[in-house]
Structure 1
Amino acid sequence: MGSPFKLVFYAKDDSLAFRAAKAAFARVEKLNEIMSDYLDGSEINRLSATSGSGQWVPVSKELYEILAISQDISAKTDGAFDATLGPVVQLWRHATRKGIFPPEDEIRDALNRTGFSKLKMNPDGYKVMLTQKGMRLDIGGLGKGFAAEEAIRVLKSFGIRSAMMDAGGKIVLTDAPPASKGWKITVSNGSDSLKTMELANVALATSGPTYRFMEYKGVRYSHIVDPKTGIGLLFHVRTTVISPDGTVADALATAFSVAGIEKSKVYLKRFPGSKVWLVEKQDERVANWNMLE
């Protein structure tokens, strides 16, 4: 999924630890084959290739489940999160590699092939239809959180209760390590402010343009693209979300980054148990909304 995965857990002996780790990473690899848009033959890319065919396509339970979660979050955030944004994401990946701002007509064309309402789902037989030709799904905004949750599920099947899965900054935690109150997790506001928390049995996701961005004519554009404009975010600094579920935390870190502070305050009410630390630029100042204090 284009990111390093790190697994830490406590087991009663090294034999069990080895078997559990092997099984957990095998699960992640299987999900990568299903959900990664970096792999030409992945299930999600094969599904995208059917766009505009007018056909209902049977998909795996895993792909159907993550798309259903995505659609729910899209509806609750007024489209601030959108798994159909693939054409725009591909355009920006290419532009970032070349260091060239995407032409307006190409952005417009890519946007015309997006929209979560164009993704139809039928739970009878796990079927999906992409209604417009040229659509491309991209679930990079919640796939790592989903994979982290699945890895933890595998560990629990081995009787392991104290674990941390870090999937490229999307973290799922179970019981605290022995003789401690929680896992020590340090998050940043994107500049000089750090916060260390002791957490257990929650998920955490952080998103920001610190490492992934494009700079063009002195302006920095985030790798996170606004589904309404098709352009990388300009004012986002850093978003950290804590939620009961890793998939939701992952998706909300993207959605809240796009929505900004004021709209996110409205959307957050639709996700019980979630908290956010959102930092954004507003004119010449930096606005800080921190629920983690």
Structure 2
Amino acid sequence: MRFILPLLILLVCAIPARALERFDFSAPLMFTTFRISLHSESREKAEAAVEAAFKKIAGLNAVFSDYEPNSELMQLCNAGPDKAFKPSEDLYALVKRSQELAELTEGAFDITCGNLTHLWRRTKRTHKLPPADRLQQALAATDWRAVRLDEKAQTLTLTKPGMLLDVGGIAKGYAADAGLKVLREHGITRALVMAGGDIAIGDPPPGEDAWEIKLRQFTKESPEEDLIAVRLHNCGVSTSGDLYQFTEIEGTRYSHIVSPKTGMGLTQRIACSVIAPDCTTSDALATAMCVLGRERGEKAAAQLKGVTVKFAE
């Protein structure tokens, strides 16, 4: 009998590991299409993990949306000034990171710009600039320093009346990171989660040292000629620019990217890709870099470890 156990061990070790297959999925979420590419031992395991990831992302939309009147974000905005609000773990984490990046970018990234973005949504529909008085009112209610976080109590407080938050510049990146985390919890690490121009990237595919990601540069009209390839793993990458999203009013081209300082859509042509340790950070910084411009943007990014910015030439 003492010879049977070693034989069994040899037999088990001789069985080859099941090869990983690539699977691709997509779902319409958060006003864009989320795409997940992953490598798994089986379709069943892949589908279970992706279903959980998409469920998490859909739940985050109910937290972060400024279109849904009953979202948690809107409950915070409606709580009134100087009223402490007890948020979910996700909302607190998102606001905390937003405030850190607002400070780093000197307010170029500012989630308190909700009144401004509402005005510019109307501008896109009507092709008329916001009335001067309403623009000034919106600017007066925009101030990232007017959001108070209580770490001990885990509460959020808006200290200015009429403030509206808009987390559209960071929420998709956060959701992509959250989706990738869910996949990892299901044992799938070789994956990436794409949310429009924001990508959360995990371990590389089998036999590779990285995922090949194609970044749009916004310098050529032909989409095929406008891409450059980079190889990345375990990070986030986001691209922001105004090639397609803009409106023209009285001969001036206004970007969909609004400066929290002026309240106006950017008028200079600019685009930037940001590679960061996570997609939450890359999402927020991609927009902030466009507001800051190359010189100030590169200076701000240099303060963050693991962040690379690539401005379109």
2:310 to 265, 277, 286: 277
Q: Deviations over 1:17-57 (max 9, x none)?
A: 111010000000111100111211110011111232x2111
Aligned to 1:186: 214
Q: Distance in 2 between matches of 1:106 and 1:16?
A: 52
Aligned to 2:159: 131
Say yes or no: does 1:167 pair with 2:195: yes
- Amino acid paired to 2:299: V
Q: Distance in 1 between matches of 2:107 and 2:232?
A: 30
Name which of structure 1's ranges 112-121 and 179-188 shifts more when overlaid on structure 2.
Answer: 179-188
Contact residue 214 and residue 220 of structure 1 kept, 8 A: yes
2:101 to 50, 73, 77: 73
Deviation at residue 71 of structure 1 after TM alignment: 0.3
- Amino acid paired to 1:48: C
Q: Distance in 1 between matches of 2:295 and 2:288?
A: 13
Q: Distance in 1 between matches of 2:306 and 2:269?
A: 23
Aligned to 1:282: none
Aligned to 1:145: 173
Deviation at residue 199 of structure 1 after TM alignment: 1.5
Q: Distance in 2 between matches of 1:187 and 1:76?
A: 25
Q: Deviations over 1:46-104 (max 9, x none)?
A: 1111232x211111111000000000001111111001000000100011111111122
Deviation at residue 180 of structure 1 after TM alignment: 2.6
Where do 1:1-293 residues align within 5 Å?
Answer: 1-52=30-81, 54-192=82-220, 193-279=226-312, 288=313
Q: Distance in 2 between matches of 1:242 and 1:190?
A: 17
Q: Deviations over 1:147-166 (max 9, x none)?
A: 00000000001111110100
Contact residue 189 and residue 237 of structure 1 kept, 8 A: no
SS class of match (1:78):
coil
Deviation at residue 232 of structure 1 after TM alignment: 0.5
Alignment gaps of 5+ in structure 1: 280-287, 289-293
Q: Deviations over 1:92-124 (max 9, x none)?
A: 001111111112221111101110011111122
Kindly, what percent of the aligned residue pairs are identical? 36
- Amino acid paired to 1:14: R
Q: Distance in 2 between matches of 1:226 and 1:106?
A: 16
Contact residue 241 and residue 271 of structure 2 kept, 8 A: yes
Name which of structure 1's ranges 261-270 and 142-151 shifts more when overlaid on structure 2.
Answer: 261-270
SS class of match (2:188):
coil
Q: Distance in 1 between matches of 2:80 and 2:293?
A: 31
Aligned residues: 279
Q: Distance in 1 between matches of 2:246 and 2:69?
A: 24
Q: Distance in 1 between matches of 2:44 and 2:235?
A: 27
Q: Distance in 1 between matches of 2:272 and 2:31?
A: 20
Contact residue 81 and residue 254 of structure 1 kept, 8 A: yes
Q: Distance in 1 between matches of 2:47 and 2:159?
A: 45
Q: After the TM superposition, which segments of 4 or more aligned residues of structure 1 sit over 4 Å from their partners?
A: none
Contact residue 298 and residue 309 of structure 2 kept, 8 A: no
* TM-score, structure 2 normalization: 0.87
- Amino acid paired to 1:162: R
Deviation at residue 265 of structure 1 after TM alignment: 2.1
Name which of structure 1's ranges 86-95 and 1-10 shifts more when overlaid on structure 2.
Answer: 1-10
Q: Distance in 2 between matches of 1:10 and 1:68?
A: 33
Q: Distance in 2 between matches of 1:105 and 1:55?
A: 27
SS class of match (1:4):
strand
Q: Which has the larger radius of gyration?
A: 2
Q: Distance in 2 between matches of 1:98 and 1:36?
A: 23
